[in-house]
Homo-oligomer: A and B are copies of this chain.
Amino acid sequence: MTDANRRIVLAERPTTMVDERTTRLEEGPVPSPGPGQALVRVTHLSIDPTIRGWMGRDTYLPAIGIGEVVRCAGLGQVVESRREGVAVGDTVFGLLGWQDYAVVGDVNTVPPGVAPELALGLLGVTGLTAYFGLIDVGHLAEGDVVVVSGAAGATGSVAGQVAKILGAGEVVGIAGSDEKCAWLLDTAGFDHAVNYKTENVPKRLHDVCPDGIDLYWDNVGGDILDACLGQLAMHGRVVLCGAISQYATGAEPVGPANYLNLIGKRGRMEGFIVLDYADRFPEAQAKLFEWAVSGRIHTAEHVVDGLEHAPEALNMLFTGANLGKVIVRV
């Protein structure tokens, strides 16, 4: 930490993965908070696939502008406050960006005693996404056969475990390595794990979900989405959380040919954005926290040290190098 503010800005829109041309590390003065604002020293960054989306084009938020700090949720400590209700020393959560210091207005305070990994992962956007996606979008019902892709990632791992806690019959995780599959079975309590890099996914799904998939949680899109649509149960639901296989290919996304199965199966495919549930975050965080402290949910984190490594940390989500939540310790 220095008296300068290091900032990673978007230099060029990426077409595939982020590389040395995409971002640029700059140094500038530490900004000053205006009236109603606070200055936050950024300590942890939540590395999420959506950042890659924001770099590329307008989505549910406007694209990050060229030359602007890369937008990113994170945690930090208040070092100067001109905002009522926010005190120096408070730990806060918000869209702090890839930088050492951020000036914020509206910001959420994190209670003391909540570890940064928990605040950013299970109780952060990724855990909340799992909670609301399963319940409000997927209408998870008791006995459901649930399949989760990207199952060893920050959201997928929580989605599978919450499904189990809420009464799913069987939970199947799809992930990209034997190590991840072992973690799903041995630590996270999934009933089945499928390594999509070494196994025939449609065949395994046919074997482990002979009566079809009631709820499919899609983090990946592409062939795996297609396979799950092909194995959908009557009145099956597909929760569209993301499509990490499609974001950084440099080509147009590919649609799922088996969407037609939604007709015969009276199925549904639905997308959502967790920010719409902001007024119910406390309800969800209370439950997720209770499940974590009672040992019913296990989380994993992949911590990368140093702000300058944020671009590589983002790429991990696309190469699948991480198990669990990717966090940059600034």
Please report A residues at the B interface, Cβ cutoff 8 Å: 59-60, 221, 226, 240-243, 246, 252-273, 276
- Of all chain B residues, the one with the shortest Cβ separation from A59 is B264
Complex Cα distance, B262 from A59, in Å, reads 11
Question: Can you list 24 A-B pairs with a CB-CB distance of less than 8 A?
Answer: A221-B260, A240-B259, A240-B260, A240-B262, A240-B263, A241-B263, A243-B263, A253-B258, A253-B260, A254-B255, A254-B257, A255-B256, A255-B257, A255-B258, A255-B259, A259-B269, A261-B271, A262-B270, A266-B270, A266-B271, A267-B271, A268-B268, A268-B269, A269-B270
Identical copies in the complex? 2
Q: Are A269 and B262 in contact (CB under 8 A)?
A: yes
Q: What's the least CB distance linking A238 to chain B, in Å?
A: 9
> What 9 pairs between A and B have smallest CB-CB spacing?
A255-B255, A263-B271, A262-B271, A255-B256, A60-B264, A268-B270, A255-B257, A269-B269, A253-B257
Not counting A264-B271, A266-B270, a sample of 7 additional A-B residue pairs whose C-beta atoms are within 8 angstroms of each other reads A254-B255, A254-B257, A255-B259, A256-B259, A263-B272, A266-B276, A269-B269
Inter-chain contacts of A240 with B (CB < 8 A)? 259-260, 262-263
Knowing A264-B271, A264-B273, A271-B266, say if A259 contacts B259 (CB, 8 Å): yes
Q: What's the least CB distance linking A200 to chain B, in Å?
A: 18
Q: What's the least CB distance linking A144 to chain B, in Å?
A: 18
Inter-chain contacts of A258 with B (CB < 8 A)? 253, 255
Inter-chain contacts of A256 with B (CB < 8 A)? 255, 259
Task: Kindly identify which residue among B260, B272, B273 contacts A243, using a CB–CB cutoff of 8 Å.
Answer: B260
Inter-chain contacts of A266 with B (CB < 8 A)? 270-273, 276
Inter-chain contacts of A252 with B (CB < 8 A)? 257
Knowing A268-B268, A269-B269, A270-B268, say if A242 contacts B255 (CB, 8 Å): no
Inter-chain contacts of A265 with B (CB < 8 A)? 271
Q: What's the least CB distance linking A62 to chain B, in Å?
A: 12
